[in-house]
Structures are given as structure tokens and as C-alpha cells.
């Protein structure tokens, strides 16, 4: 017996329809993927700003409780006095790269960009200037040359904790 072929009344997708669906999916992917890619940068920036604020508040609290400032160690090293206040924070790595650095510049003649003497600051050492700008916008006035958050030298973002007048 010879096999007979019957015409199929099934409807499938034509090549043109398939191309339209693929094109729509490609357009949607082109819109959505950059938003997800940028969300990682936004999260890191927000985390750095939150950490910077938290470290500043802890240092203020320490000064009030103890009448002095924590030890000024090399960048990446948490002052041991801050361990009870910040037990999980790693000073050796920030969310945007670089290291945290507590600086006690009291009496060392250092000044901010605007010429105001710095007493105590927490620095985020190294990082992209675009990150610095976004952090300044989250914490302060959005101007890296003024306010409590400033770019100091080219590779440091400084959060001024107390300013001598």
C-alpha cells in the first residue's frame, strides 16, 4: 500500500510572523537590558553613600562618648576603637572600589578645596568621578567643590565630619 499525503489544515507561524515576533523581542530587550545593567551601578553608589554617612555618624558618636577621635591608621585599616560600632564593615574595600580611610587632619594645616580647614574626615579612596558625583548628590549639594562631601585631590571623595571655623 502506498502512503497517501493529506493536506494539513493546521495553522503554523509563517516566516514573516516569526520575524515580527523576534523583532519585537529584540526591541524590548534593547530597552530593558540597559536599565538592569545600570541598576548595579546605582546600587553600588547608594551603598557607598550609605556607608559613608554611617561611618561619619559612628565617628561623631565615638567623639561624643570618648571626647576624642579614633586612631588615624593607613587607608584600608579600620581604627580598632570603631570595631564595636562597625563590626562587619571592611575598610579594605568600598562598594565602588578603593578603600575607606579615616583621616584626623586636626592641626595638620590641610584644607578643603574652598580653603576651609579639615578637622576629621572619612575618605573613599579611588573611584570613578561619576560615582563621586552621584554620591555627592545623594548626601550633599551635588557640587564636589563645596559642602560636606568634596572631591579632594583627584582620587578621593571626602566626607567632612567636623570643620574648624
Greatest distance between any 2 Cα atoms in the chain: 106
Question: Average pLDDT, stretch 26-33?
Answer: 78
Q: What's the Cα-to-Cα distance from 56 to each of 26, 28, 59, 104, rounded to whole Å?
A: 46, 43, 5, 12
Average pLDDT over residues 136-163: 85
Which pTM value belongs to this model?
A: 0.73
CB 113 within 8 A of CB 150: yes
Q: What is the CA radius of gyration of the chain?
A: 27
The b/e string for 53-75 (b: 16+ C-beta within 10 A; e otherwise) is bebbebbeebeeeeeebbeeeeb
Give all strands (DSSP E) within the chain, no chain letters: 99-104, 118-125, 149-152, 156-163
> CA-CA distances (angstroms) from residue 85 to 61, 80, 99, 116, 137?
9, 10, 18, 29, 26
79-108 residue pLDDT tens = 999 999 989 989 888 888 888 888 888 777
CB 79 within 8 A of CB 72: yes
pLDDT at 12: 63
Amino acid at each position: 500500500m502506498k502512503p497517501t499525503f493529506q493536506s494539513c489544515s493546521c495553522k503554523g507561524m509563517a516566516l514573516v510572523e516569526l520575524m515580527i515576533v523576534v523583532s519585537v523581542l529584540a526591541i524590548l530587550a534593547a530597552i530593558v537590558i540597559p536599565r538592569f545593567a545600570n541598576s548595579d551601578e546605582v546600587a553600588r553608589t547608594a551603598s557607598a553613600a550609605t556607608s559613608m554617612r554611617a561611618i561619619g555618624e559612628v565617628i561623631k558618636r565615638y567623639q561624643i562618648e570618648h571626647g576624642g577621635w579614633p586612631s588615624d591608621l593607613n587607608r584600608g585599616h579600620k581604627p580598632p576603637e570603631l570595631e564595636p560600632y562597625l563590626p562587619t564593615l571592611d575598610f579594605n574595600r568600598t562598594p565602588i572600589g578603593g578603600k575607606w580611610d579615616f583621616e584626623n587632619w586636626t592641626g595638620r594645616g590641610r584644607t578643603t578645596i574652598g580653603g576651609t580647614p579639615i578637622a576629621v574626615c572619612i575618605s573613599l579612596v579611588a573611584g570613578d568621578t561619576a560615582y563621586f558625583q552621584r554620591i555627592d548628590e545623594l548626601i550633599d549639594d551635588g557640587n564636589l567643590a563645596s559642602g560636606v562631601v568634596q572631591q579632594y585631590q583627584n582620587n578621593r571623595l571626602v566626607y567632612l565630619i567636623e570643620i574648624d571655623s
